[in-house]
Structure 1
């Protein structure tokens, strides 16, 4: 069993990823930390509490920061046109304020859990990297205690999705993302280079809902708005971005990775761009020198990944 903390901003594709983690037999979901991104922090935290109740898992949920890593940084508009005003496809998520929430802020929860389980915790981060960067700032020693950090984010050799340079999770707090990439812990970047190859159709999701019980029926319902958004890019389907990062944890053999130092541009028209210096490539002196080599996913066995996702989601 792999102990996983899921750092998330639910979010439609976050919901599928969360159900995957909750149902996969090799995953011990020991915590969920919330961040802003697909919606403001109060909404994403409420959504996490709602999904915990509906999906039937018991992991503690800790609320993260609603502000960026660098004080005073303006927050970009929230993508209501993708995830809806409530972050979950405008299904009308109820107020979950009566549900228990861990008293610690997310970054303190991360620090405490990592120190309590040295060498065992995998962080799967699928939103802004703010909580992780805040944890590093307070307790930099945790880099020696984490098993790995798997990130859904970035666009290394392909265009971004918020502009030609940047992917949304990285663009949303680039200073935080850069702090996470250059830290001396093992990072795996599962970005648009691979996630855009993983497409689930509306009919495929409906078929899963018929087999997977109320949790998958809910997932099907909250995904309809999201699928409608994707109609201009893929036909009657959606991309399962965040679930790809979860699949890496249990089936890394489905991915082709490239090692090398990764930096995030934090200013200019390329703000939020993830750039890797592949190991073995020689350049003059640069800001990539002397940094840890991290893994960027460059290709994926998409059909096998989707088959694993479908098999896992219908487990009850």
Structure 2
């Protein structure tokens, strides 16, 4: 049985919680650690949330706090999405643990683990890409030592979800995202093109809670505010952006990949726009010249992905 050594870079976040539960429940995944970043909440809160979840599920993976803000200069002040993830980042589910004002060790943890396990580390990043970009700035050689990077982010052929141009994770630090896409490690982006089609309805979520025991019931409970957010938009359930990216690690056959050089706009009204030069395009590359060809899951099998999440989280 293939084992995947995974580092989870995250900003918990309700849908992050489902992705984390998938990772710790999957028999082929060895979770080496969790690195946290600002995004769905301040980094002190996302760090606390990661520790709370791991403790609740009896998992001893280390948690390393990371970036509190973006690398991109001139970014507007962060307006944390409390209307989606609640004031505490986990749907205002009761948490008997204070936010964690930890030193910033995420980038160094990434570097140390990559050097300790050359060619084996798989990074799953579902928040701003700041920790990954900072690790590359400190130790550029790690790009050649990583097995691959899977990220939840981008909107290539569909509108964004924070502006018409941009998906939230990329928009939150577009310069960092451009650095990550431009490094020589293999990147697969799992963008809104697919994740806006992986919709778990309320009945399915409640069923997972009943069948999955206390661990999955916790995910169901803290997701109720997230579901209410989608209800206000006319949906009865929730999108599972981050868990969709987690499934790619173990079941890539459920995804359809497109490849090309990627740039991310870091200024102007299209801040955070992800632009891929398709592999079959003819003509000069311009600002895409010299960039590595990366991949994105612009299509896939949404129901099969949801079924896989259910299978793993209730096993």
TM-score band, normalised by the shorter chain?
Answer: over 0.9
Aligned-partner Cα distance in 2 for 1:97–1:81: 19
Aligned-partner Cα distance in 2 for 1:75–1:252: 36
Unaligned ranges ≥5, structure 2: none
1:96 positional shift = 4.8
Q: Give SS of 1:151's match.
A: strand
Return 195-204 or 67-76, whichever deviates more.
Answer: 67-76
Aligned-partner Cα distance in 2 for 1:212–1:305: 17
1:285 positional shift = 4.2
Whether 1:288 and 2:259 are equivalent positions in the alignment is no
- Supply the RMSD in Å over aligned alpha carbons: 1.6
Name the CA shift for 1:260/1:285 in 2 (closer, same or farther; >3 Å).
closer
Q: Partner residue of 1:111? A: 111
Q: Partner residue of 1:95? A: 97
Aligned-partner Cα distance in 2 for 1:80–1:153: 20
Please, which of 48, 51, 64 is the counterpart of residue 49 of structure 1? 51
**1:142-221 mapped onto 2 (5 Å cutoff):** 142-221=142-221
**1:1-316 mapped onto 2 (5 Å cutoff):** 1-70=3-72, 73-96=75-98, 105-233=105-233, 235-315=235-315
Contact 1:75 1:172 in 2 (8 A): no
1:6 positional shift = 0.2
Aligned-partner Cα distance in 2 for 1:249–1:283: 33
Return 131-140 or 210-219, whichever deviates more.
Answer: 210-219
| Residues 216-266 of structure 1: CA deviation (Å, up to 9, x unaligned) | 111111000001111144521100000011100000010001010011001
| TM-score where L is the length of structure 2 | 0.96
1:97 positional shift = 6.6
Contact 1:68 1:75 in 2 (8 A): no
Unaligned ranges ≥5, structure 1: none
Matched residue count? 313
Aligned-partner Cα distance in 2 for 1:164–1:290: 28
| TM-score where L is the length of structure 1 | 0.96
Aligned-partner Cα distance in 1 for 2:277–2:95: 43
